[in-house]
Amino acid sequence: MENKELLVELDHLRRERRAVILAHNYQNPEVQDIADYRGDSLGLSRQAAATNAEVIVFCGVHFMAQTAKILCPEKMVLLPDLEAGCPMADMIGPEELRAFKAQYPGVPVVAYVNTTAEVKAEVDICCTSANAVQVVRSLPDQRVLFVPDQYLAHWVAQQVPEKEIIPYGGFCPTHVRIDPKSVIAAKQAHPEAEVIGHPECPPDLLALCDAVKSTSGMIKYAKESAATEFIVVTECGMIHRLQQDVPGKTFYGLPEIVCPNMKRTTLEKVVASLRELKYQIEIPEAVRVRAMQAVQRMITIG
Ligand code: 13P
Ligand code: SF4
């Protein structure tokens, strides 16, 4: 089907189904462009929690749609491609989490939202890259377990030196692929540019950055900065978002830094998802209720 026909069908379906379309900042431009809201993990969770829509189409990866379902059990949450997972989230399951916790009895666990509902159900509080520092600071304990991203944990530990952060060994395969040499080369080519990076990057990359931000934090930073050029150290989808939201400034991406899971969602799949009401996210109620406590605690913090 031509894009034009798809867009006509989409317009009809989104009204008929009373649907809201949420898209993460790494989504394909054609998907970002039809979304009602675009944002980072925290922003999209807030949109999901606040919406009056009956159906939420989540254009992102599985854990994000699950988070929406955790917050809105009475709504239908659709993920247009069921294979759109997050390899980092799959690096820790409930068994591994229990074994990790058993090594540190009584130490609270912070889970990055990039985790399954089953893992969220067994932690104290969640965080995203936008609020990880605030979440860790909010805990009264001096020692904190942090799962699954070792690099986000490392970055938070640098910001909160008064606490001991014990990381799990997970990582994002997309961000660890970024070669520091490509950032150094970009800096040489664009000496006036500021470097903004995502905290899922390893420390040698973050050491090259002027600012470390969540994906939506990057937009705010680029708007407010006096600089007019930026080297963007994260998934390439951010470039489309930054170019649209911060016109008049120039953004340089890094070649071939793609999250293949984020790119699985296409306009065609979004339309099919609304047409056939697939793929519906379901979470056993006992798991959802416990996971919600950890997500809700995070949302209350800010
Ligand atoms: P943000 O919450 O910063 O958008 O990050 C989500 C993610 O998965 C980045 O890889
Ligand atoms: Fe997961 Fe990394 Fe893709 Fe984000 S970019 S969804 S952390 S694999």
The phi, psi pair for 30, rounded to 5°, reads -65, -25
pTM: 0.97
pLDDT digits (tens, 9 = 90+) for 141-176: 999 999 999 999 999 999 999 999 999 999 999 999
Provide the sign of the torsion angle of the four alpha carbons 169, 172, 173, 177, taken in this order: negative
Q: Whose CA is nearest to atom 7 of ligand 2?
A: 172
Please identify, by atom number, the ligand 1 atom nearest to the C-alpha of residue 24: 4
Cβ–ligand 2 distance for 65 under 6 Å, the answer no
Task: Pick the ligand that lies closest to the CA of residue 176.
Answer: 2
Q: Whose CA is nearest to atom 7 of ligand 1?
A: 41
What lies within 8 Å, CB to CB, of 161 at 6+ separation is none
Mean pLDDT over each residue of the chain, to the nearest integer? 97
- Give the integer Cα–Cα distance in Å for 178 and 235: 9
pLDDT digits (tens, 9 = 90+) for 174-221: 999 999 999 999 999 999 999 999 999 999 999 999 999 999 999 999
Cα 15 to middle of ligand 2, angstroms: 31
Q: Looking at residue 302, what is its pLDDT? A: 66
* Residue to mutate (ligand 2; options 44, 81, 114, 127; most atoms within 8 A of CB): 114
Domains recognised in the chain with CATH numbers:
3-86+262-282 (3.40.50.10800), 89-171+288-301 (3.40.50.10800), 178-253 (3.40.50.10800)
Q: Looking at residue 301, what is its pLDDT? A: 86
